Structure 1
Amino acid sequence: MKPEKTILINGHKHIQFQHESVSENEMLKRATTFYNMCNKRRSIRDFSEKEIPIEVIENLIKTASTAPSGANKQPWTFCVVKSAEIKHKIRLAAEEEERKSYAERMSDEWLEDLKHLGTDANKPFLETAPYLIIVFKKPYEIDAEGKKHPNYYVNESVGLACGFLISAIHNAGLVTLTHTPSPMRFLEQILKRPSNERAFLVLPVGYPATETFVPDIERKKLNAIMNVY
C-alpha cells in the first residue's frame, strides 16, 4: 500500500484524493442501476410496526453526514426517536398544526393541488413507523464561552444531507415520507434541543404496511427538466 501523499495549502494539510476509475460502460451501468432503484422510491404514509436494527439507522445517518456543506461546517443534527411516548407527543402537536393549516393557512389552490394525493391533517405514521428521524439545521454554533459562530449555506447544506438520507433509506430497502408540519417549533420543545437548532424535516422510517397504496402519478419526463447548452 502506497503511503498517503500530503501537501500544505494556505498552511493547512491536504491529502491526495483516491479516485476509482471505471470504464464508460461501467459508468453507464452504475448510473442506470442507481436511477432504476431511485425511480421506485415513493412517499409512503402507511407503515408496518416491524422493528429495524438501530445499526441500520446509524449507517443511514452516517451516509447523510457525507453530504457537502458550506465551509464544511456540517450544520445538522439528526434526532432519532423510537420512544412511543415521544412519538405520540409529536403526532398530537403535528396534527394540531396541520389542522390549522388545512383550515386556515393553505390557499384554495394549494388545497386543490393536494386533493389527488389523498392527504389530510391526520398523521398516524408519526406513531406507527418504528423510527422518526428529525433533522435540525444549525444557523450558528455556540462555543464553550457562549459566543456565536455563523454557519454558511445552511438550508442548502441540510437539504443536501436530507437528499442523501432519503436515498440511503430507499437503498436499504426501507421507506419514508418527507413531513414538514408548519410551524415546527414544537419539535425543538418536545426534544429539548439547544437554542441554535431549528427543525427542518421529519422522516418516518420503516417498512411499508402489508397492503400499501400510493397515488397513481408520474414524474416529469427528462426533456421537461433537462436543458443541454
Structure 2
Amino acid sequence: MEDYILVEGFKHIRHQQQSFLEKEMIERTKSLYNWMDKRRSVRHFSNKDIPIEVIENIIKTASTAPSGAHKQPWTFCVIKSANIKKKIREAAEEEERKSYESRMSDVWLNDLKPLGTNPDKAFLEIAPYLIVVFKRPFEYGESGEKHQNYYVNESVGLACGFLISAIHHAGLVTLTHTPSPMRFLEKILKRPDNERAFLLLPVGYEAEKAYVPDLNRKSLEKVMQIY
C-alpha cells in the first residue's frame, strides 16, 4: 500500500488512527470525562513558577486544532513580564469597572452573582503566565497583499478549547477572561494590524486555598439529543 497519494497535485500521506476494543473505548472515554469534569474556572492563583517548556507544550497542543482551510489563524502571546502583566491588569480593570457600572444589564449582573465576580482582577498579576490568544482575520503576502482566512472565530475557538484542556491536563488552572472591549491588549503587546484579541487566560497552579462556586453542569439528557 502506498505511503501517499496525489490529490489535485498535492501530497496526501497515509493516516492510521489508533483504535481500541469496545471495553477499552468505554473505559478511556469515562476516564477522560471524569478528569475533565474536575476542570473549573479558577480565580485564586499561586505565583509559583512553571517551566516554560510546559507552556510551550500546551500551546503546541492548542495548535493541533482544526482550522478553516488549515490557515491556523491564531497567535498565542505568552506574558511573564511583571511590568506588562501590571499594565494588562490596570487596563482590564478599567474596562471591567465600566462594564459593571453601566454596560451590563441588571439581568446579566444578576446571572453573575452566583459566580462572585467583580472588577478586581488581581489574578492577572499573580499568575506566573498570561496567555493572550489573538485571531488573525487575514494575512499579508510577500508583496503586502491581503489574503483572507476562513472560519476564523470557529477555528480560534476550537484552538482555545484544546488550550484549556491542555492546561488542565498539565495539572494547572486557568480562567477564560474576556474584558470587553479588548483592544488594549493589541496596543500593550504592540500586535500587528491583522490581529484581534480573542481571549485572555491566566495560567498557573491554584492557590493553597482556592474556592470555586458550588455549581452543577447540565445533565446529559439536557445537552444531547439522539435522532
Shorter-chain TM-score category? Answer: over 0.9
Query: Counterparts of 1:94 and 1:105 in 2: how far apart (Å)?
Result: 14
TM-score by length of 2: 0.99
Query: Counterparts of 1:7 and 1:61 in 2: how far apart (Å)?
Result: 31
Matches within 5 A, 1:50-65: 50-65=48-63
Matched, 1:118 2:123: no
Query: Counterparts of 2:55 and 2:16 in 1: how far apart (Å)?
Result: 28
Identify the residue that residue 37 of structure 1 maps to in structure 2.
35
218-227 or 14-23, which deviates more: 14-23
- Which of 95, 99, 102 is 1:101 aligned to? 99
Query: Counterparts of 2:124 and 2:2 in 1: how far apart (Å)?
Result: 47
Matched residue SS, 1:45: coil
Query: Counterparts of 1:209 and 1:4 in 2: how far apart (Å)?
Result: 53
- Which of 10, 13, 20 is 2:11 aligned to? 13
Query: Counterparts of 2:120 and 2:17 in 1: how far apart (Å)?
Result: 47
Matched residue SS, 2:12: strand
- Which of 175, 190, 193 is 1:192 aligned to? 190
For 1:142-189, what per-residue CA distance to the aligned partner results, in whole angstroms no more than 9, with x for missing partners?
Answer: 112111000000000000000000000001000000000000000000
Query: Counterparts of 1:144 and 1:192 in 2: how far apart (Å)?
Result: 21
Query: Counterparts of 1:185 and 1:136 in 2: how far apart (Å)?
Result: 11
Counterpart of 2:196 in structure 1: which amino acid?
R
Identify the residue that residue 138 of structure 1 maps to in structure 2.
136
Counterpart of 1:140 in structure 2: which amino acid?
F
Query: Counterparts of 1:66 and 1:28 in 2: how far apart (Å)?
Result: 24
Structure 1 gap ranges (5+): none
Matched, 1:202 2:200: yes
Identify the residue that residue 70 of structure 1 maps to in structure 2.
68
Q: How many residues align?
A: 227
Counterpart of 2:50 in structure 1: which amino acid?
I
17-26 or 216-225, which deviates more: 17-26
For 1:81-116, what per-residue CA distance to the aligned partner results, in whole angstroms no more than 9, with x for missing partners?
Answer: 000000000000000000000001000000000011
Matched residue SS, 1:7: strand
Query: Counterparts of 2:146 and 2:190 in 1: how far apart (Å)?
Result: 19
Matched residue SS, 2:38: coil
Matched residue SS, 2:25: helix
Percent of paired sites with the same residue: 70
Query: Counterparts of 1:4 and 1:63 in 2: how far apart (Å)?
Result: 29
Structure 2 gap ranges (5+): none
Stretches of 4+ aligned residues off by more than 4 angstroms: none
Identify the residue that residue 155 of structure 2 maps to in structure 1.
157
Matched residue SS, 2:111: helix
Matched residue SS, 1:152: coil
1:21 deviation in Å? 2.0
Matches within 5 A, 1:213-224: 213-224=211-222
TM-score by length of 1: 0.98
